[in-house]
Amino acid sequence: VIFANVSFAFDSVAQELLERRISIQATNQNINSVLSEIEKMVEVKFSYSPNLIRASRKITVTASNEKLSAVLEKLLTPQKLTYEIVGRQIILKRETTEKIQTGQLDLPNAFSPPLDQTITGTVTDENGSGLPGVSILVKGTQRGTTTDASGKYRLILSDNNEVLVFSFVGYLSQEITIGTQTTLNVSLKPDTKALDEIVVVGYGTQKKANLTGSVASIDQKFLANRPITNSSQALQGLSGVYVNMSKGRPGADGATIRIRGVGSFGTNNNPLILVDGVEYNLRDINPADIESITVLKDAASSAIYGNRAANGVVLVKTRGGEKGKFKVDYNMYAGYQEATTFPDAVSDAVQYMEGKNLALQNQGSPIEYSQAIIDEYKSGTDPYIYANTNWFDVMFRKAAQQEHNLRFSGGNDRTTFALSLGYLNQDGIMLGSGAKRYSINTNIASDVTKWLKIGGNIIANFWDYRESAYTADEGNGEGGLMGLIYRGLPMQVPLLADGSYADQWIRVPGHNFYRNPYALAFEGFRKNTNFSAIFNFFAEAQLAKNLRYRVTIAPNFGYDVEKYNNPVIDLKHPKTGAIAPMGNIPIRGVRQSLAEALSLTNFHTLNWNRTIGKSELTALGGFSLEMFKNGSFNAGNQGYFANEISELIAGSANPVVGGNSTQSRLMSYFGRINYVFNDKYLLETNFRYDGSSRFAPDKRWGFFPSISAGWRINEEEFMKNVKPISNLKLRASWGQLGSQPQQLFGFIEAVTSGINYNYNNTVVSGGAVTQIAEQNLTWETTTMTDIGLDFGLFNQRLTGEFDWFNKITSGILRQVNIPQQVGNLIGPVRNIGEVQNKGIEFTLNWRDKIGKLNYNLGGNLLQLSNNVLNTGGQRIFNGNRVIFEGSPIDSYFGLRSMGYFQNTDEIKAAPFQNTVTLPGDIRYVDVNGDNRVDNNDREIIGNTIPKYTYSFTFGADYKGIDFSAFFQGVQGLQNYVNANLGFPYRNGAGVTKEFLTESWTVNNPNAKYPRLTTANGYPQNFQVSDFWMRDASYLRLKNIQLGYTIPDKFTKKLGISRLRAFVNGQNLLTFADFTLGDPERNAANEGIIAYPIAKVVTGGLSVTF
Amino acid sequence: CSDFLDVSPSDRLIQVDFWKTRQHAEAALVGTYNALLNGNIYGGVAMIAMEAATPNAFTYNNTGGGGFIAQGIHDAANNGIINNKWGACYVGIGRANTLLSNIGGITMDETTKKRYTAEAKFLRALFYHDLWLYYGGVPLILETPNLEKQGTLPRNKADEVYAQIIKDCDEAVADLPQLGTTKGHAAKGAAFALKARTMLYKGDFQGAAAAAKQIIDGKSYTLFADYRELFQLDKEGNSEVIFDVQFKNPEFTHSMDITFTDFNSIAPLPDLLNDYYMTDGLPASQSKLFDPKKPYDNRDPRLNQTNILPSTTFRAKTVLANTFGFTGIGQKKYTVYKDNEDRATIAEGQSELNYMVFRYADVLLMFAEAQNEVAGPSQAVYDALNLIRKRAGMPNFPTGLTKEQMRAEIRHERRIELAGEGLYYHDIRRWGTAEKVMNTDIFNFAGGKIGTRKFNKDRDYLWPVPTVVLQNNTSLEQNPGYGK
* A575 touching chain B per CB within 8 A: no
HEC profile of A999-1026: ECECCECCCCECCCCCCCCCHHHHCCEH
Q: Is domain A11-95 classified as CATH 1.10.357.10?
A: no
CB contact under 8 Å between A758 and B252, yes or no, is yes
CA–CA dist B338, B308 (Å, integer):
11
- A758, A884, A983, A1016, best to mutate vs chain B, most B CBs in 10 Å: A758
Residue numbers in chain B where pLDDT is lower than 50: none
A277 versus B386: the higher-pLDDT residue is B386
Dihedrals phi, psi of A806, to nearest 5 degrees: -140, 115
What average pLDDT does the segment A799-827 reach?
94
Could you give the residue ranges of the DSSP H alpha helices within B250-349? 256-260, 270-273, 302-306
For the domain B17-175+461-472, what is the CATH code? Answer: 1.25.40.890
**CA neighbours closer than 13 Å in the CB half-sphere of residue B477:** 10
The mean pLDDT of chain A is: 88
Which A positions 814-843 lie with beta carbon below 8 A of chain B?
Answer: 817-825
What ranges make up the beta strands (E) of B320-422? 330-331, 355-359
Which A positions 659-698 lie with beta carbon below 8 A of chain B?
Answer: 660-667, 691-693, 697
Where do the domains of chain A lie?
11-95, 101-187, 199-328, 904-937
A114: confidence class by pLDDT, cuts 50, 70, 90: very low
CA distance B450 to chain A (A): 6
Closest alpha carbon within chain A to B249? A654
CB contact under 8 Å between B347 and A584, yes or no, is yes
* A643 touching chain B per CB within 8 A: no
pLDDT on residue B253: 95
Closest alpha carbon within chain A to B354? A760
Nearest to B135 by CA among B87, B170, B191, B72: B87
Burial of A212 (0-12, 13-18, 19+ CB in 10 A): buried
Q: Within 10 Å of residue B395's Cβ, how many Cβ atoms? A: 16
CB contact under 8 Å between A508 and B141, yes or no, is no
Nearest to B212 by CA among B78, B380, B63, B421: B380
Residue A109 has pLDDT above 50, yes or no: no
* A658 touching chain B per CB within 8 A: no
Closest alpha carbon within chain A to B90? A823
Q: What is the pLDDT of residues A222-239, one digit of tens each?
A: 887 788 888 888 888 888
Tell me how far the alpha carbon of residue A81 is from its chain's centroid: 45
CA–CA dist A306, A739 (Å, integer):
8
What 3-state DSSP class applies to B157?
Answer: coil
CB contact under 8 Å between A585 and B347, yes or no, is yes
Contacts of A769 in chain B (CB under 8 A): 15, 94-95, 98, 145
A570: confidence class by pLDDT, cuts 50, 70, 90: very high
Residue A41 has pLDDT above 80, yes or no: no
CB contact under 8 Å between A822 and B146, yes or no, is yes
Q: Is domain A101-187 classified as CATH 2.60.40.1120?
A: yes
A86: confidence class by pLDDT, cuts 50, 70, 90: low
What average pLDDT does the segment A931-935 reach?
87
CB contact under 8 Å between B15 and A751, yes or no, is yes
A589: confidence class by pLDDT, cuts 50, 70, 90: very high
CB contact under 8 Å between B347 and A586, yes or no, is yes
CA–CA dist A513, A501 (Å, integer):
14
CB contact under 8 Å between A760 and B246, yes or no, is yes
CA distance A750 to chain B (A): 4
- B12, B23, B128, B341, best to mutate vs chain A, most A CBs in 10 Å: B12
Contacts of A666 in chain B (CB under 8 A): 5
Q: What is the pLDDT of residues A958-1011, one digit of tens each?
A: 988 999 999 999 999 999 999 899 999 998 899 999 999 999 999 999 999 999
CA distance A917 to chain B (A): 14
A107: confidence class by pLDDT, cuts 50, 70, 90: very low
pLDDT on residue A266: 86
Contacts (Cβ under 8 Å, ≥6 apart) of B344: A568, A581, A583
pLDDT on residue A170: 67
What 3-state DSSP class applies to A303?
Answer: helix
A108: confidence class by pLDDT, cuts 50, 70, 90: very low
Residue A474 has pLDDT above 90, yes or no: no
* A152 touching chain B per CB within 8 A: no
Q: What is the pLDDT of residues B445-482, one digit of tens each?
A: 999 899 899 999 999 999 999 988 998 899 999 999 88
pLDDT on residue A566: 94
Nearest to A6 by CA among A710, A856, A785, A854: A856
Q: What is the pLDDT of residues B278-290, one digit of tens each?
A: 999 999 999 999 9
CA–CA dist A247, A482 (Å, integer):
11
Residue A586 has pLDDT above 90, yes or no: no
Residue A95 has pLDDT above 70, yes or no: no
CB contact under 8 Å between B345 and A583, yes or no, is yes
CA–CA dist A689, A23 (Å, integer):
33
Contacts of A745 in chain B (CB under 8 A): 8-9
Cα R_g (chain B), whole angstroms: 23
Q: What CATH number matches the domain at A199-328, 3.40.630.20, 3.30.930.10, 2.170.130.10, 3.20.10.10? A: 2.170.130.10
Q: What is the pLDDT of residues A1007-1055, one digit of tens each?
A: 999 999 999 888 889 999 999 999 999 999 999 999 999 888 888 888 8
Burial of A308 (0-12, 13-18, 19+ CB in 10 A): buried
What is the percent of chain A with per-residue pLDDT over 90, rounded to a whole number?
A: 60
Largest alpha-carbon pair distance within chain A? 114
Contacts of B26 in chain A (CB under 8 A): 764, 766
CA distance B403 to chain A (A): 41
pLDDT on residue A113: 43
CA distance A912 to chain B (A): 13
* A373 touching chain B per CB within 8 A: no
Contacts of A756 in chain B (CB under 8 A): 30, 34, 251
Burial of B404 (0-12, 13-18, 19+ CB in 10 A): exposed
What ranges make up the beta strands (E) of A615-700? 615-638, 653-677, 681-692
CA distance A664 to chain B (A): 7
Q: What is the pLDDT of residues B142-167, one digit of tens each?
A: 999 999 999 999 999 999 999 999 99
**Are β-strands A961-971 and A1034-1045 bridged in parallel, bridged antiparallel, or unpaired?**
antiparallel
pLDDT on residue A9: 36
Closest alpha carbon within chain B to A513? B262
* A576 touching chain B per CB within 8 A: no
- The shortest CB-CB distance from B150 to any of A366, A509, A822 is to A822
* A630 touching chain B per CB within 8 A: no
CB contact under 8 Å between A656 and B454, yes or no, is no
CA distance B315 to chain A (A): 12
CA–CA dist A1081, A1090 (Å, integer):
9
A50: confidence class by pLDDT, cuts 50, 70, 90: low
Where do the domains of chain B lie?
17-175+461-472, 248-353
Could you give the residue ranges of the DSSP H alpha helices within A387-480? 391-395
Cα R_g (chain A), whole angstroms: 34
Q: What is the pLDDT of residues A606-636, one digit of tens each?
A: 999 888 888 999 999 999 999 999 999 999 9
CA–CA dist A118, A69 (Å, integer):
40
CA distance A1097 to chain B (A): 41
pLDDT on residue A168: 78
CB contact under 8 Å between B90 and A824, yes or no, is yes
CA–CA dist B188, B211 (Å, integer):
11
The mean pLDDT of chain B is: 95
CB contact under 8 Å between B151 and A568, yes or no, is no
DSSP state of A1072: E
CA distance A733 to chain B (A): 32
pLDDT on residue A78: 76
Nearest to A1011 by CA among A1024, A998, A1023: A998
Q: What is the pLDDT of residues B127-140, one digit of tens each?
A: 999 999 999 999 99
- The shortest CB-CB distance from B5 to any of A693, A759, A823 is to A693
